[in-house]
């Protein structure tokens, strides 16, 4: 069973080599599809070096946001299933092996275990969103879909600035698919390295959560207030909550590019 691994990139010179080192050793057969949003920092040159050594590494250049990049990759993927991973993440050596095991067991959507690394003050738990009994807010960086499922539900909604993975999971659940958790499919994620990038991420996440509400209606009943506020009882947690709220309100005031649905 061929599995396509999709990696969207934008100026990831400092990260892409480390990720590819963990991908080229995965259980075969695989293809690694890097879709680069026209990086200017040497990202493409690093990927091309890997292409010379590993014929299953492919590079495409496509301007646009992350949703557009991943849809572009889906159209070109040859695998029966497609696994998504971030350019600044690292895969466990048996990541694909355990994903393939779950696929052979008949699962259509597989999310793996993400282990957060980096500075402790920025290692905050995500705000979980449950829908019809499934945690649809699992990190998109360690999610695998059968290709026919992605085709049936229409791929990613490229209007999202973030939370495009949550929207995809929500639509998949609405279509009757189940999300299966494979604890042995492990990806190592890294927390933001400085306050500015941490707060930018918080703003974007808040903006994306409001985009979800604009598209799908009220979702507040799907959140756990205890879990939401319980993860923000530190200085950095409170700042993240405030910047997330700012992003949420900004999206609400501007319509977030979603109003054409109403």
Assigned domain for 212 exists: no
DSSP secondary structure of the chain: --EEEEEEESS-TTTHHHHHHHHTTSSSSEEEEEEE---SSSHHHHHHHHHHH-TTEEEEE--S-HHHHHHHHHHH--SSEEEE--TT-EE-TTHHHHHHHHHHTT-SEEEEEEEEES-GGG-PPP---EETTEETTS-GGGEEEEHHHHHHHTS--TT-SS-HHHHHHHHHHHTT--EEEEEEEEEEEE--SSHHHHHHHHHHHHHHHHHHHHHH---GGGS-HHHHHHT--SHHHHHHHHHHHHHHHHHHHH-TT-GGG-
Assigned domain for 85 exists: yes
Assigned domain for 10 exists: yes
Assigned domain for 225 exists: no
Can you give the pLDDT at residue 204? 86
Can you give the pLDDT at residue 241? 85
CATH number at residue 29: 3.90.550.10
Can you give the pLDDT at residue 232? 60
- CB 4, CB 78: distance < 8 Å: yes
Q: How far is CA 172 from CA 20, 92, 151, 166, 261, in A?
A: 29, 26, 11, 10, 19
Range of the domain at 136: 3-193
Q: How many structural domains is the chain composed of?
A: 1
Q: Tokens standing for 29?
A: 């057969």
Q: Tokens standing for 117?
A: 């690394």
Assigned domain for 198 exists: no
Assigned domain for 171 exists: yes
Assigned domain for 88 exists: yes
- CB 20, CB 97: distance < 8 Å: no
Assigned domain for 223 exists: no
Can you give the pLDDT at residue 256? 81
pLDDT of the chain, 262 residues: tens digit per residue:
999 999 999 999 999 999 999 999 999 999 999 999 999 989 999 999 999 999 999 999 998 898 999 999 999 999 999 999 999 999 999 999 999 999 999 999 999 999 887 656 555 566 778 889 899 988 888 999 999 999 999 999 999 988 899 999 999 999 999 999 999 999 998 766 788 888 888 898 888 889 988 999 877 666 666 555 566 668 877 888 889 889 989 998 988 887 543 2
């Amino acid at each position: 069973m061929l599995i396509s691994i999709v990696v969207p990139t934008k100026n990831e010179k400092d990260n892409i080599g480390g990720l590819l080192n963990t991908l080229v050793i995965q259980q075969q057969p695989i293809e690694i599809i890097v879709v680069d949003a026209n990086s200017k920092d040497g990202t493409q040159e690093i990927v091309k070096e890997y292409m010379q050594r590993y014929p299953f590494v492919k590079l495409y250049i496509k301007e646009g946001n992350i949703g557009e990049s991943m849809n572009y990759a889906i159209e070109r993927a040859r695998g029966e299933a497609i696994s998504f991973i971030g350019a600044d993440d690292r895969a466990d050596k048996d990541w694909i092996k355990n994903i393939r095991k779950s696929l052979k067991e008949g699962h259509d959507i597989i999310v793996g275990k993400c282990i957060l690394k980096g500075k402790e003050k920025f290692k905050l738990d995500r705000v979980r969103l449950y829908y019809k009994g499934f945690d649809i807010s699992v990190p998109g960086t360690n999610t695998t879909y059968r290709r026919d499922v992605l085709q049936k539900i229409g791929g990613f909604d490229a209007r999202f600035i973030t939370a495009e993975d949550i929207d995809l999971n929500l639509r998949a659940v609405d279509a009757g698919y189940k999300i299966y958790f494979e604890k042995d499919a492990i990806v190592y994620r890294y927390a933001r390295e400085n306050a500015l990038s941490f707060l930018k991420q918080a703003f974007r996440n808040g903006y994306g959560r409001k985009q979800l509400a604009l598209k799908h209606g009220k979702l507040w009943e799907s959140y756990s207030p205890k879990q939401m506020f319980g993860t923000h009882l530190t200085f950095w947690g409170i700042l993240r909550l405030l910047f997330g709220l700012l992003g949420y309100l900004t999206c609400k005031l501007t319509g977030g590019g979603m109003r054409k649905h109403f």
